[in-house]
Amino acid sequence: MTRATSVNDDQRRTTINLRPIWLYGYGGHAKVVADLALACGYEIAGVLDDCPQVVESSHGNVRPGFRLDPNSEIFTRHQPMILCVGNNQTRADLAAILPNSFVSLIHPSAIVSPSALIGVGTVVMQGAVIQADAQIGEHVIINTAASVDHDCFIGNFSHISPNATLCGEVKVGTKSWVGAAAVVIQRIVIGDSVTVGAGAVVIRDVANQKTVVGNPARIIDDGSLAQHEKAGTGHAVNQRRLAALLESVNHVRRTFRRPEFSELHANQRLMRDLEFDSLDLAELTVLLESKYGVDVFADGVVQSVGEVLAKLDALQ
């Protein structure tokens, strides 16, 4: 890890002599990282992606990723790179195979204590706050306006989403995701590969590979990959729950999405007739993320059924 002061001082120097950097991945998260890199005094040497055919055609400088072209001259320790992939496990996989040197990026508007430690490959977005003696691991995403208080520890490849708050002395394991606007109270321990739903309020420790949502946060899915593989039922149970929730939402779409029904009316009918509460809404959005690989909270906390319907329309 690096002392945050040295990172900030370096990145806030004049940009007369821009330093080249390669971006690996080019989805929505990469667009934000590209802006971050420019703000930190880098120029974008190019973009690499394992699926270049799905990248927007307007971005012509997209080259095949390591899995497609491992012999490219780009993949050497002399070429600085930043991983622009939102999926925690994918970032871990790429970091393990790529020979490049990775850089950390801290936006000039972020507030980072001089005593904080920032791991290699980590990105700290606009308006984020990292307080005294916090330790941030490698390839971590501290997203827009996230708050990490004193003496927190965040393990490698985790993601703290926009406006999430970690109070003092919170510990987050590796490859965990804390959703947008979630709050974790002081001294809570969150394990490895945990998902904390957007807007959740975590007041108890969360074991490895659990998913929690709501206020106060509760477990909605075992999530233990080992147990699921051994029993052969976990994935099916999860899919049945998702199917039930989707059917509830689709029922609203079929029944109430007509000109004579306002969105508010549809929401009220859904809540009353189907007993579909805010916790169900949070659970649905988390399960959608796991099914489609899309962060349905990317644009903020989803607060209405109408917003979920819009997300579903965009995915179909």
Please state, in angstroms and rounded to a whole number, the distance separating the CA atoms of residues 165 and 17.
36
Please state, in angstroms and rounded to a whole number, the distance separating the CA atoms of residues 50 and 44.
18
Please state, in angstroms and rounded to a whole number, the distance separating the CA atoms of residues 223 and 293.
16
Please state, in angstroms and rounded to a whole number, the distance separating the CA atoms of residues 174 and 17.
36
DSSP 245: H
SS3 112: strand
What residue has token string 């002395």?
169
Which residues partner with 124 through β-bridges? 106, 142
Please state, in angstroms and rounded to a whole number, the distance separating the CA atoms of residues 19 and 42.
5
The tokens for 205 are: 């420790």
What residue has token string 């649905």?
284
Task: Spot the catalytic one: 150, 228, 235, 251.
Answer: 150
The tokens for 233 are: 């039922």
DSSP letters, 20-54, are EEEEE--SHHHHHHHHHHHHTTEEEEEEEES-GGG
By the 8 A CB rule, do 193 and 177 touch?
A: no
Please state, in angstroms and rounded to a whole number, the distance separating the CA atoms of residues 173 and 207.
10
Question: How do 211-213 and 218-221 pair as beta strands?
Answer: antiparallel
- Evaluate the CA torsion angle 263, 264, 269, 271 in order and state its sign: positive
The tokens for 38 are: 């420019």
Question: How do 165-166 and 147-148 pair as beta strands?
Answer: parallel
What residue has token string 């206020």?
215
- Please indicate whether residue 107 is annotated as part of the active site: no
Any idea which residues carry the catalytic annotation? 150
